[in-house]
């Protein structure tokens, strides 16, 4: 079989390359905007570092300390990153973490709750308050499984074992890969 017989042409408004948490959250954003993406990864679903994530993630729910707020999470995160981070993204992350966490937990993430209805938040390096949300076990698999379940539920095309080597550009715009 020649190379040309293996070539598959796909047209899509949004191509998401990568089947980790970044790719899947991009797909969640597409769903929110009413856009239908195509997801592709060189590995399988789920894959990447995301499946290996261990402890959990931070969000300023204020469940361990009533004074906590997203702006403090932003400040602590920027300081811990020695100003090497993208400040705009860090601000979005700090302020959206609460809503995204509630959403992910409703989709089956399985975060640990206290009996009084607050999340159990553990200490995490460089954070002034206990903010780490966790599953009581390694978080990568439940996180990726609940996201991948959503991709299937929304009938998003997810293709594995496709390795991208370049992006095609026209006039500074990406038009293909
Ligand atoms: C052991 C470990 C523990 C961690 N614990 C935590 C934690 O507790 N809390 C936390 O917040 N973070 C943790 N992290 C970090 C976190 O997992 C990563 O920051 C996050 O998963 C990155 O997500 P991502 O989607 O950007 O990348 P990845 O999950 O790595 O996904 C990248 C995807 O892109 C695909 N890909 C790459 N190149 C190509 C190509 N050329 N063509 C097609 N597909 C391609 C890969 O196959 C993969 O599917 C941990 C990381 C590790 C390794």
Cβ atoms of residues 110 and 135 within 8 Å: yes
Say if residue 36 is exposed, middle or buried (CB neighbours under 10 Å; 0-12, 13-18, 19+): middle
Ligand 1 lining (C-beta closer than 6 Å): 17-23, 41-43, 47-50, 52-57, 139, 163-164
Q: From atom 53 of ligand 1, which residue's Cα is the shortest distance away?
A: 49
Q: What are 80-94's pLDDT values in tens digits? A: 999 799 999 999 999
Within-domain flag for 1: no
pLDDT, residue 7, reads 76
Cβ atoms of residues 101 and 57 within 8 Å: yes
Q: Which atom of ligand 1 is nearest to the CA of 47?
A: 49
Q: How many domains does the chain have?
A: 2
Q: How far does the centroid of ligand 1 lie from the alpha carbon of residue 117, in Å?
A: 31
| Same domain, residue pair 171 and 149 | yes
- Domain around 163: 6-54+138-177
Q: At residue 60, does pLDDT exceed 80?
A: yes
Q: Which atom of ligand 1 is nearest to the CA of 139?
A: 8
Q: What are 9-24's pLDDT values in tens digits? A: 899 999 999 999 999 9
Helix, strand, or coil (residue 136): coil
Q: Which atom of ligand 1 is nearest to the CA of 163?
A: 42
Task: Please state the pTM of the whole predicted model.
Answer: 0.92
β-strands 37-40, 157-159: how paired?
Answer: parallel
| Same domain, residue pair 76 and 31 | no
Q: At residue 3, does pLDDT exceed 70?
A: no
């Amino acid at each position: 079989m020649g190379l040309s017989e293996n070539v598959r042409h796909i047209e899509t408004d949004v191509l998401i390359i990568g089947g980790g948490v970044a790719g899947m959250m991009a797909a969640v954003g597409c769903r929110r905007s009413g856009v239908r993406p195509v997801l592709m990864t060189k590995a399988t679903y789920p894959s990447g570092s995301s499946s290996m994530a261990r402890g959990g993630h931070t969000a300023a729910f204020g469940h361990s300390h009533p004074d906590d707020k997203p702006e403090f999470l932003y400040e602590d995160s920027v300081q811990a990153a020695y100003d090497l981070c993208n400040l705009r993204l860090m601000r979005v992350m700090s302020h959206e973490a609460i809503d995204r966490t509630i959403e992910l937990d409703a989709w089956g993430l399985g975060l640990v709750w206290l009996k009084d209805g607050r999340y159990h938040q553990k200490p995490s390096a460089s954070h002034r308050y206990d903010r780490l949300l966790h599953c009581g076990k390694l978080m990568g698999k439940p996180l990726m499984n609940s996201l991948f379940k959503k991709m299937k539920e929304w009938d998003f095309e997810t293709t594995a074992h496709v390795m991208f080597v370049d992006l095609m550009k026209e006039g500074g715009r990406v038009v293909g890969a």
